[in-house]
Amino acid sequence: MSVHVKEEPVLVSNCEVENSELAIFNDGNGESELEDFGTCVDDITERVSQLEQKVVEVEHFYSSKDGAAQTNTSKSNSGGKKIAISQPNISKCNSAGKDKIKAKHVSSPELMRQFATMFRQIAQNKWAWPFMEPVDVKGLGLHDYYKVIEKPMDLGTIKKKMDGSEYSNVREIYADVRLVFKNAMKYNEAKEDVYVMAESLLQKFEEKWIQIMPKLVEEEKKQAEEEAEEYASKQLTLEAAQAEMARDLSNELYEIDLQLEKLRESVVHRCRFLNSSVTHFTL
């Protein structure tokens, strides 16, 4: 004997992925139920893939901060699972900024003028004339000059670069001036006049350089502090944005986890309902 049992429709909570609303498992159309269920799962899968990419980006940001990240775990969902999202260690920002700021110091106009005066005094010295123009390698028959001297330099070239504002700080000019005299001392023997002249001028130049060093050190220190503060400010802004993104990701992943749990419960409920229907349908 057969008994017909009227089946009530079983509805599952809406699948809120990308604002879609799906009511699945409407009794009487199994094919439609499966299609809607598959669509919902596909939507969730696609969304999870997008979120995973964002999680990777956030994790990469924190992992590249030389260990300046710490893990903050979100609330457990109904299944006891937890979603871990890294959060920034803001307290390390200032020290990290100071370590990473290595920009070249830009000397003030005042310091550049002081150096120009010092340079002019050296260039006007009675022994400076051999160093005012590039070495006439060909005319003097110095066939091995470029094998000995890697970077030729002369005071005339330095002056042209100074006049053309090609130097941004006095340390650059200082290095080139020393190079002029060091080259002469390297290529010529100590007993030769050019060597003696270069050595004497270099000594006078170093004495004058020491006089402007306090001002230079003060400027470099001040600029380094300003750059470190600017870097720290940018880092704080960036980390705040990353932290907000991390929180949003944690919330979205938690909501998707809840949706998957509801789908699972709906499937279990439907299966039990079908088993119950089959049992009562045939006696």
pLDDT confidence of residue 57: 74
Looking at every residue in the chain, the average pLDDT score rounds to 75
Q: State how beta strands 69-73 and 84-88 pair.
A: antiparallel
% of the chain beyond a pLDDT of 70: 69
pLDDT confidence of residue 208: 96
- Residue 16 covered by a domain: no
For residues 136 and 196, membership in a common domain is answered with: yes
Q: How far apart, in whole angstroms, are the C-alpha atoms of residue 275 and residue 270?
A: 9
- Residue 14 covered by a domain: no
CA dihedral 109, 205, 221, 224 (to 10 degrees): 70
pLDDT confidence of residue 245: 76
Residue with tokens 């042209």: 160
pLDDT confidence of residue 257: 78
Task: Tally the domains of the chain.
Answer: 2
For residues 216 and 255, membership in a common domain is answered with: no
Segment 134-160 mean pLDDT: 96
For residues 89 and 113, membership in a common domain is answered with: no
Write the CATH number for 131: 1.20.920.10
For residues 170 and 271, membership in a common domain is answered with: no
Comparing CA positions, the residue from 227, 221, 233 lying closest to residue 93 is 233
- Residue 183 covered by a domain: yes
Q: How far apart, in whole angstroms, are the C-alpha atoms of residue 202 and residue 210?
A: 12
Look at residues 199, 223, 247 and tell me which one is the last residue of a structural domain.
223
Residue 146 above 60 pLDDT?
A: yes
Look at residues 196, 223, 250 and tell me which one is the last residue of a structural domain.
223
Look at residues 174, 205, 223 and tell me which one is the last residue of a structural domain.
223
Between 75 and 202, where is the model more confident? 202
For residues 218 and 237, membership in a common domain is answered with: no
- Residue 156 covered by a domain: yes
Residue 109 above 90 pLDDT?
A: yes
For residues 39 and 81, membership in a common domain is answered with: yes
- Which residues does 98 contact at the CB level (< 8 Å), separation at least 6? 224, 228
- Let me know: does 44 contact 32? Beta carbons within 8 Å: no
For residues 210 and 118, membership in a common domain is answered with: yes
For residues 204 and 246, membership in a common domain is answered with: no
For residues 165 and 217, membership in a common domain is answered with: yes
- Residue 22 covered by a domain: no
- Let me know: does 98 contact 228? Beta carbons within 8 Å: yes
- Residue 6 covered by a domain: no
Residue 3 above 60 pLDDT?
A: no
Residue 47 is part of which domain span? 30-99+233-281
For 222, the token pair is: 């001040």
Q: How far apart, in whole angstroms, are the C-alpha atoms of residue 113 and residue 107?
A: 10
For residues 118 and 213, membership in a common domain is answered with: yes
Segment 24-43 mean pLDDT: 62
For residues 210 and 168, membership in a common domain is answered with: yes
- Residue 104 covered by a domain: no
Q: How far apart, in whole angstroms, are the C-alpha atoms of residue 150 and residue 127?
A: 24
For residues 174 and 204, membership in a common domain is answered with: yes
